[in-house]
Amino acid sequence: SKRRDSKSHSMCGQCQTFKPPMSHHCRICNRCVSRMDHHCPWMNNCVGASNLKHFILFLLYTWTCAAYSLTLFGWNYFFCADEDCTFHVIVVHLVRAMTVLCVGAFLFTSSMLMNVTYGLMTGIGTIDRLKKKATNTMNQSDEEPIPLKDVFGIAGYHTWLIPIDPVFEDYDRAMGFSTPQRLVREQQLMESKRPVVSPDISSSATIELPSCVNDFLPV
């Protein structure tokens, strides 16, 4: 999109520095977050370009555990038709309390997964979407969908569901910025991998022997 690929950067009034496109300043974290979606109190951190994969996995893991727990409760307690399905009163209260928690977690994570999916498909984060809805400018959006390789990386499909940091094809483009320390490390890495060129002996200049030595050589 034009906003994402823009060469100019806006200035943050809080940090007093330039901030990448599609970034926002978080008052709780007291810093600018690249491609910020929202501040998550459950993770105690902002959700942005660098940890969007971990946030999606957090939602997916919680949704799976809640669905699995509800299935176990329904199969072994609520829909149990055997005569032996008698439980202690404490177990009954625990199952009911856990059912309420699992239903809440299931519904909440389902809505958040749909919210994240909508953001990936439209390229509009939660904060930007709320701002556009408040100003009635959603139909003027020029954002493009976020490629999955900018979220899960290019290490392979088998790493998508594993909670490890993704390897991006273009870190600067995915993050929207670059740090001098990383550029220096990459330069040192490239220099260490550069092949050492050995001198060509055949192309070296011929050594002339002194005339006294030539007198002893056979003709």
Q: What is the set of active-site residues?
A: 40
Q: What is the DSSP letter of 37?
A: -
15 touches 27 (CB < 8 A): no
- CA 31/CA 20 separation, integer angstroms: 12
Q: Is 86 helix (H, G, I), strand (E, B) or coil?
A: coil
Name residue 113's amino acid: L
Q: Is 182 left (phi over 0), alpha (psi -120 to 50) or beta?
A: alpha
Q: How far is CA 122 from CA 1, 6, 64, 125, 154, in A?
A: 11, 18, 25, 8, 21
Residues near 19 by beta carbon (within 8 Å), at least 6 away in sequence: 9, 10, 11, 12, 25, 32, 34
In sequence order, what are the residues at sequence separation of 6 or more whose Cβ sits closer than 8 angstroms to the Cβ of residue 28?
39, 46
User: Residue 69 contacts by C-beta under 8 Å, 6 or more apart in sequence?
Assistant: 98, 102
Residue 25: strand, helix, or coil:
strand
